[in-house]
Structure 1
Amino acid sequence: MNRTALTTGVGIAAALGLVLTGCSGTADAGNSDGDGITITYSNFISNDGNEENLQTIIDAFEAENAGITVDVSTLPYADYFTTLQTDLAGGTVADVFDIEFANYAAYQESGVLAELKDVDTSAYQDSLAEAYQTDGTQYALPSSFSNVVLFYNKDLFDAAGVDYPTADWTWADEQEAGKALTDAAAGVWGDYQPISYHEYYKAVAQAGGDVLTDDGTKVAFNSPEGIKAAEWLVGKSGITMPTPEQGAGTPDFDSGLFVDGKLAMWHTGIWMFGTLADTAFDWDIAVEPGDAQQASAMFSNAVAVSSGSKNIEAAQKFAEFLTSSETMVDVRLDSGWELPPISDETKLDSYLTKGAPENRQAVFDSLDGVALSPSIGANQAEMQDIISEELTEATAGRKTVEEALASAEERVNALLG
């Protein structure tokens, strides 16, 4: 599972600075009837096990669009963005290529993404389509998504006599249940939520605040809402969830704790469903609780059409088929290859009945309130590291929450110039 908020391409700004000289002026709508056209598609989404699934979709597209051939290049995720930047700088980028939400803004601002015209955005979940719009214009199409929900161990809840989480829960409800479910002496913890940037930006949204100002030029998280969000995360450590000294934050500690039946609630992504398929206890999921409002982290892959393509019309036709066709939906659901981004939930009925967790509807209910990671371009990774570092200082007691956020504000504002 590729989680968009976790990774930003290395050196995006430096590479894209060369792009417009390599691609400028080459865009052409191509042959409108599609006769004799070959379009190229560079991707990472099918690597490591889904190559045949992608080919099934391409075969169906070519069967419906005589005269258009799709030439596919598949790369490992670890290599993909470096290669993409090189291709963009050299003017050799594919007609259609994969991107992630975290680096969408950098690509769009540099002019390498073609405007997608007359797209039926109603085919997609609203929040997913809107994630790839700038000033009302569509520049990419979501190809798949995943999100974060609240996992819970029903057996532990039953043993403690605590009611299961519902879609109406707030932070206060979660905190109360977490305390009732924690038995530190027995190694049983009520809650687990990583104290990191990725949980913090979401918690700020849940508290009703913003990480950045509307124009993206300054930090906005050093606010009453941002402080409340940091206190919410930091305040769990040693109370309802383990401290770093007890293992919190080490690789796979949280998943191991949940699988062992020692964790009652767990904030994590739906990509963990497969890992939990053979657990010995009963578990389910719910929409994550909020404070002023609900806001769930959403991770998304997308496809874009190169502004330098000579076959923009055919490329867009393929991009739409790849992201919204019935063939794509069937292939993704049958293979378990991430979730299709479509709005028609009747087409997703088979997903809702695939077994544990029982409340798979919470996956889609979570999309009613989405918190997208703020994107600042080339300095994205550094911003994320700064906020995580300062939260770590507050968790360790070396700084107060207020001191940590003030320091983070100063450091991040320096990145923003």
Structure 2
Amino acid sequence: MSGSRVSRRRFLRVLGATAVVGSLYACGRGPTPGGSPAPTPSIRPAPTVPTTPISVFPTAVPTAAASAAPTAPVSGGRVTGEIEFSYYNWGPASIQYFKEMAAAFMKEYPGTRIRLTLPPGDQYTTKLKILLATGTGPDIITTTDITYKLFKEGRLLDLTARVEADPILLDGSKFIQAGWDIYRFGTGHIYGLYSGADTHLLYYNRDLFDKAGVKYPGADWTWDDFVDAAKELTLRKGEKVVQFGTALGILVAYWGWANLVWMEGGDIVDRRPFYSRLTLNNLPVLKVLQFIQDLMYKYKVAPTPEQASALGEAGSFESGKVAMLLDGGWSIQSRKAIKAFRWDVQMMPRGPKGFIGAFWPGTPMQINARTRNPDLCWEFVRWFAASKEAQTLIAKQLIQVPARLDVAFSSVFLRQPGMPPHGDVWVKSLERARPADIQHPNQQEMMDKVWNPNWDKFIRNRMTPQEFAVTVERDGNKVLQSG
């Protein structure tokens, strides 16, 4: 749904890690719960979804260490001129990162200049909309939440011919393929590309597992295994929980639990990434919703919103008082500073349909249709996404999986300081993955008016899974179909 990457990052770093959240999207809580309960008609079968997720890897994956040697430009290095690259910043480190990327490109392409515009994340989309509406705007746009809207308005350059002519981008043995559907619009033409990928992982405190004598999570874990471990790792003194087996983390967000629904054989929308209606009142969705409530109110292994709010930082994974957390791979970089205990990551537990990962694009890039230098724009975004030099710089940031597979599986990425012992599952979790984000022109209105206030009731146990599913599907689809 319409949630920019920055919203997802801020949500996880500031709120999601402690589960101090009562809404789906970290856009603020809904109104005070109340009103009549929703009707409960019969449950429909789950919508038909693909049984085989997109496979992003070849049968034999390259394992050679990545070289930082520059890749020869497609144009032969003849591009010149100046363009503006715009992306949101999430702090000083990100500003420095983009400066280094721009400098590396300009060194390899003499006669070019990359001008960076890096507003704070909470201002990016608003400013971009204003600039584009006036007929200006940056040459290179980096967004996911309004990409389809920009395509419909004719503001994006068609990249199909360039992508199809490239020797790397559409080669599944060289480049992660799961993200292309995010940028295929209309008759399947391509309007963007990405430099990396991200997904969801299970973080765990090795010291707490050892102390309790519980076996570490394995790649073959089921959700039943997860619950059993969480029970053993939850400690109480009288009625007070002093150590939680888990925290909800990303399970408070639609994009955080949608792949649990996939693993049950369903989905929350009729199609991805551009959907027409919500599909919530079916058994796979209801089973996952019940699971989320049960973690808090039946098994009592995860803090409720009220408990998490009272605990504050003391209820975070970093506090050492939470044994497991479902979170994104992007948090590996911030957690490398943890010294108080040993921790690791594993693939998320699997469901009846096996494991299906969630795909997020790293640095999604589109080109403004009104740019005066499309060749330079293409050369830069292609270099960013597919050159070994740029991909190696991305690998060293430890904030996303490089899109080039030889770099993703190299020691440069997997053996760098800060990578946990099983960091390779960050890459392997993308082997069977589907796009996590979904878009609809009216979805932000639907989120604000319908989903968030009802989710607030649901997460506080004031609404059953079916009441939530029926109400949000019915009222949400009315908003989606209006206008």
Deviation of 1:369 after TM superposition, in Å, equals 3.1
SS at structure 2 position matched to 1:41: strand
Match of 1:408 in 2: 472
Write out per-residue CA displacement over residues 187-214 of structure 1, whole angstroms, 9 at most, x where no aligned residue.
1221222434333323322322111113
Cα 1:114–1:369 shift into 2, 3 Å: same
Q: Is 1:333 matched up with 2:395?
A: yes
Counterpart of 1:105 (choices 148, 156, 160) is 148
Matches within 5 A, 1:72-83: 72-83=116-127
Counterpart of 2:247 (choices 192, 200, 203) is 192
Greater fraction of residues in helix: 1
Task: Answer yes or no: is the 8 Å Cα contact 2:392–2:407 preserved in 1.
Answer: no
Write out per-residue CA displacement over residues 132-155 of structure 1, whole angstroms, 9 at most, x where no aligned residue.
233532211113443321001122
Cα 1:131–1:243 shift into 2, 3 Å: same
Identity of aligned residues (%): 24
How many angstroms apart in 2 are the aligned matches of 1:195 and 1:259? 19
Structure 1 consecutive aligned stretches of length 4 or more whose deviation exceeds 6 Å: none
SS at structure 1 position matched to 2:179: helix
Match of 1:234 in 2: 293
Cα 1:270–1:416 shift into 2, 3 Å: same
Cα 1:4–1:109 shift into 2, 3 Å: farther
Match of 1:174 in 2: 226
Deviation of 1:302 after TM superposition, in Å, equals 0.9
SS at structure 1 position matched to 2:93: coil
- Equivalent position amino acid for 1:74 in 2: L
SS at structure 1 position matched to 2:322: coil
Counterpart of 2:235 (choices 164, 175, 183) is 183
Task: Answer yes or no: is the 8 Å Cα contact 1:46–1:54 preserved in 2.
Answer: no
How many angstroms apart in 1 are the aligned matches of 2:86 and 2:350? 38
Match of 1:137 in 2: 189
Q: Is 1:262 matched up with 2:262?
A: no
Deviation of 1:400 after TM superposition, in Å, equals 1.9
Match of 2:30 in 1: none
Q: Is 1:115 matched up with 2:175?
A: no
Structure 2 segments unaligned to the other structure (5+ residues): 11-24, 28-74
Q: Larger deviation: 352-361 or 221-230?
A: 352-361
Deviation of 1:97 after TM superposition, in Å, equals 1.9
Task: Answer yes or no: is the 8 Å Cα contact 1:196–1:388 preserved in 2.
Answer: no
Q: Is 1:148 matched up with 2:200?
A: yes
How many angstroms apart in 1 are the aligned matches of 2:355 and 2:448? 22
SS at structure 2 position matched to 1:75: coil
Deviation of 1:111 after TM superposition, in Å, equals 2.0
Write out per-residue CA displacement over residues 273-305 of structure 1, whole angstroms, 9 at most, x where no aligned residue.
333533322211101113133233443331111
Deviation of 1:223 after TM superposition, in Å, equals 0.7
Task: Answer yes or no: is the 8 Å Cα contact 2:442–2:480 preserved in 1.
Answer: no
Q: What is the aligned length?
A: 393
- Equivalent position amino acid for 2:124 in 1: Y
SS at structure 2 position matched to 1:293: coil
SS at structure 1 position matched to 2:369: coil
Match of 2:374 in 1: 312
SS at structure 2 position matched to 1:323: helix
Write out per-residue CA displacement over residues 239-276 of structure 1, whole angstroms, 9 at most, x where no aligned residue.
22122232269765642xx2232212111123333335
Cα 1:320–1:33 shift into 2, 3 Å: closer
SS at structure 1 position matched to 2:98: helix
Q: Is 1:213 matched up with 2:277?
A: no
Match of 1:28 in 2: none
How many angstroms apart in 2 are the aligned matches of 1:245 and 1:57? 43
Match of 1:163 in 2: 215
- Equivalent position amino acid for 1:401 in 2: P
Deviation of 1:6 after TM superposition, in Å, equals 6.8
Task: Answer yes or no: is the 8 Å Cα contact 1:34–1:314 preserved in 2.
Answer: no
- Equivalent position amino acid for 2:152 in 1: E
Deviation of 1:112 after TM superposition, in Å, equals 1.2
How many angstroms apart in 1 are the aligned matches of 2:408 and 2:252? 37
Q: Larger deviation: 74-83 or 290-299?
A: 290-299
Match of 1:53 in 2: 97
Match of 1:225 in 2: 284
How many angstroms apart in 2 are the aligned matches of 1:387 and 1:184? 34
Match of 1:280 in 2: 340
TM-score by length of 1: 0.83
- Equivalent position amino acid for 1:71 in 2: R
Write out per-residue CA displacement over residues 363-397 of structure 1, whole angstroms, 9 at most, x where no aligned residue.
11111233412221342364277434434423433
Q: Is 1:69 matched up with 2:128?
A: no
Cα 1:401–1:36 shift into 2, 3 Å: closer
Matches within 5 A, 1:362-373: 362-371=425-434, 372-373=436-437
Match of 1:349 in 2: 411
Structure 1 segments unaligned to the other structure (5+ residues): 11-30
Write out per-residue CA displacement over residues 211-251 of structure 1, whole angstroms, 9 at most, x where no aligned residue.
11137222212111110110111110142212223226976
- Equivalent position amino acid for 2:427 in 1: F
Cα 1:385–1:369 shift into 2, 3 Å: farther
